[in-house]
Chains A and B, each alone.
Chain A
Amino acid sequence: MWNYSQKVQDFFLKPHNAGPMEDANAIGEVGSLACGDALKLYLKINDEGVIEKASFETFGCASAIASSSILTDMVIGMKVDDALKITNADIAKALDGLPREKMHCSVMGQEALEAAIRNWKGEPAVPHAQEEGKLVCKCFNVTDQTIIKAIRENNLTTLEDITAFTKAGGACGSCLDEISEILEAELRRQGKGTAAASVAEDVAHNEKVAAAHAEEATGGLTNIERMQKVMAAMQLIRPQLQADGGDVRLVDISGKVVSVQLTGHCGGCPASQATLHQIIESILRMQVEPDIVVKEVKA
């Protein structure tokens, strides 16, 4: 059971400003059904750049609904420029705090606000992830920019923090290495040497464990054998993907790490791409070796 503040419960059970707005002139949409939460924020901004009205529609848990609702209360009457200064931490604070695992709900609110204002300014409504920075977590469509912002605005110091605030790393976990690098670099930039060193230490430890596992694993195949088996398995996988309008290309085999490039139909949808990744990995694990790791590389 989550330990929600009274305020979160109140705003969940009796949300203010719920529902669509007919005469909105700024709409921001973030999240998706696949991700498990989504928010559509409606604003009516007047000629002086003041937000006159705000409303929302949310698909998500209690804290997502409460975050969306309190955000609408916060921005009504604000100038657009001031609204842009609202951080996810401000939203969480207005709710008397959120459980750490739910902080990503406040991040979603802040992102929707930014998207709505961008929409009002006539800037393109490209999905957040593609707009700026580099896509790090494909399961939840999170960029390095979003991660760095979350670290800065909330003083994050651990990998778990980043997952709690942005969801990045919370599904397949294949992006965790990259997230650690971002976190370590950012902490160093902030002069938090000790925290950075401890992130680096964790990474080194995990790598050591992984290497030990790899060694432990029974006898195993020679590189040549493995390569041949992977190639044979790929010939089985490709027609299946092609039938769905997608494709996969073998890029590299390095030890037990097989790098592939996914193309076509599935390119746009992070969730289906993640499943595709899992499917390829599980086929290779069955056909070749149980501890094969599939890595996806971008075109």
Chain B
Amino acid sequence: MQVIYFDNNATTKVAPEVTEAMLPFFTELWGNPSSMHTFGGQVAKYVDQAREQVADLFNAKPQEILFTSCGTESDNTAIWSALQTQPDKKHIVTTAVEHPAILETAAFWERNGYTVTRLGVDEKGNLDLEEYANALTPDTDIVSIMYANNEVGNIYPIPKMAEMAKERGILFHTDAVQAAGKVDIDLAKVPVDMLSISGHKIHCPKGIGMLYIRKGVLFRPFIRGGHQESGRRGGTENVPYIVGLGKACQLAKEHMAEEQTRVAALRDRLEAGILAHVPECKVNGDPAHRLPGTTNIAFRNIEGEAVLLMLDRLGICASSGSACTSGSLEPSHVLKAMNVPFKYAHSSTRFSLCRYNTEEEVDFAIEHIPAVIKTLRDLSPFKD
């Protein structure tokens, strides 16, 4: 059966170019970049090259790039470093719609004596700049706000929000795991102090991430050990994956325009097709400020896991904010923060597209989804 992969916010296919770039580092160039001998040491230049490729995607400097093991580690590191370098400040500002990598980290620090402000969102999932301005205090240690939301795709006004933090001398971190490669982020202009990305969302394998730390921002390592990464993260470099991330960032830069045009058009076609053929459904999030590949559609009166399993039978991969799919008993915290009514929240289904998707796939989905929804609606006791 064909697989139609519309779950790119969860993880992405590894680009063949990335695999190819990585392979020599499993077979021949397996040395340790810190070694004194030529065999190992020659690997270091590939790590340097990857650092340049990553920096280039964000118009940053190579020495501002710290390789980590994943997006989650980058997020943890950013908060840790901010709190360690400013021990007298005890307040963290974030949002109610972050990924658990930030939410759980903030909750941990909250249990350890910090105060956390979680900015709410409106029914479109947008933040309120006034509420944000009011949350910033002299005691605020760090602001951490995602560049784009993984569930509904909303893009937040990070340039503006980072500017507001900067005016007040407050550190600003952004989780750009979903935005990287899809939103043009120029760090020479956007004054964030730290920024996280994750390889597996941009066609690199799982298990590699990056934290950007602006030159001049004080830093304390989260993982202590050897002198690697200029003493900012202990542990022998994951060379193949670092090389892969470099390649993935280079490709992301080359394909950014395509993401914003062709992929966005595919997403729009899918969304319009579903809305036209399925009654009583609605789009969650803010279509005016959204990642190009993401749409989150709620189908009234049915439940999301059932939708996903039926889509799965058709080879269509998507994901859901429904309680049942996560193993928790409540709908997603993002939809709850947006106050999506229960009639819709339980069936919210996320389709996230990428540059490997085609028009044929989108049309196949549009052709088959209405019947799936109708079958489940016929089974549901709620009809109004």
Contacts and interface: CB of A to CB of B under 8 A. Distances in A.
Contacts of A170: 328-330
Contacts of B310: 13
Given A15-B379, A59-B381, A61-B325, 15 more contacts: A13-B313, A18-B378, A33-B343, A33-B382, A34-B342, A36-B330, A36-B342, A59-B379, A61-B303, A61-B306, A101-B327, A140-B329, A213-B111, A216-B113, A290-B114
Interface string B53-80: 0000000000000000000000000000
A129 interface: no
Nearest to B302: A59
Contact of A57 (B114, B324, B330, B380): B380
Interface stretch (A37-45, A70-78, A150-158, A186-194): A37-45
A163 B381 contact: no
Contact of A171 (B111, B117, B330): B330
Nearest to B323: A36
Contact of B306 (A29, A62, A163): A62
Contact of A38 (B90, B330, B382): B382
A60 B309 CA distance: 12
B112 A40 contact: no
Contacts of B309: 12, 62
A122 B4 CA distance: 52
Contacts, number: 86
A183 to B, nearest CB: 18
Given A19-B378, A33-B382, A59 B303 contact: yes
A59 B307 CA distance: 11
B381 A36 contact: no
Interface in B271-327: 301-306, 309-310, 313, 322-325, 327
Interface in B339-354: 342-343, 346
Which of the listed residues A18, A38, A290 has the most CB atoms from chain B within 10 Å of its own CB?
A290
Given A38-B381, A61-B322, A290-B115, A218 B90 contact: yes
Contacts of B329: 36, 140, 163, 167, 170-171
A36 B380 contact: no
Given A33-B342, A36-B329, A65 B306 contact: yes
Interface residues of B, number: 35
A290 B330 contact: no
Contact of B346 (A12, A36, A62): A36
Contacts of B328: 170
B209 interface: no
Contacts of B302: 59
Contacts of B322: 36, 61
Interface string A209-220: 000010011100
Nearest to B377: A59
24 contacts: A12-B309, A29-B381, A36-B303, A36-B322, A36-B329, A37-B303, A58-B379, A59-B379, A60-B306, A61-B305, A61-B306, A61-B325, A62-B306, A62-B309, A64-B303, A65-B306, A65-B379, A102-B324, A163-B329, A167-B329, A171-B330, A271-B342, A286-B117, A290-B110
Given A19-B378, A170-B330, A290-B116, A60 B303 contact: yes
> Chain A contact residues: over half helix, strand or loop, or mixed?
mixed
A217 B109 CA distance: 11
Interface in A166-180: 167, 170-171
B324 A60 contact: yes
Contacts of B90: 218
A39 B323 CA distance: 17
Contacts of A271: 342
Nearest to B327: A101
Given A57-B381, A59-B382, A101-B327, A216 B112 contact: yes
A61 B306 CA distance: 5
Which of the listed residues B324, B342, B381 has the most CB atoms from chain A within 10 Å of its own CB?
B381
Interface string A238-265: 0000000000000000000000000000
B331 interface: yes
A15 B379 CA distance: 9
A217 B110 CA distance: 9
A190 B327 CA distance: 30
B380 A59 contact: yes
A86 B322 CA distance: 30
Which of the listed residues B90, B117, B342, B379 has the most CB atoms from chain A within 10 Å of its own CB?
B379
A58 B305 contact: no
A18 B309 CA distance: 18
A57 B380 CA distance: 5
Closest 7 A/B residue pairs (Cβ): A170-B329, A57-B381, A61-B305, A61-B324, A40-B381, A33-B342, A59-B380
Nearest to A57: B381
Interface in A1-33: 2, 12-13, 15, 18-19, 29, 32-33
Contact of B381 (A58, A171, A290): A58
A171 B301 CA distance: 21
A163 to B, nearest CB: 7
Contact of A33 (B110, B114, B346): B346
Contacts of B117: 286
A218 B382 CA distance: 50
Contacts of B323: 36
A217 B113 contact: yes
B77 to A, nearest CB: 23
A36 B116 contact: no
Contact of B301 (A59, A64, A140): A59
A19 B378 CA distance: 7
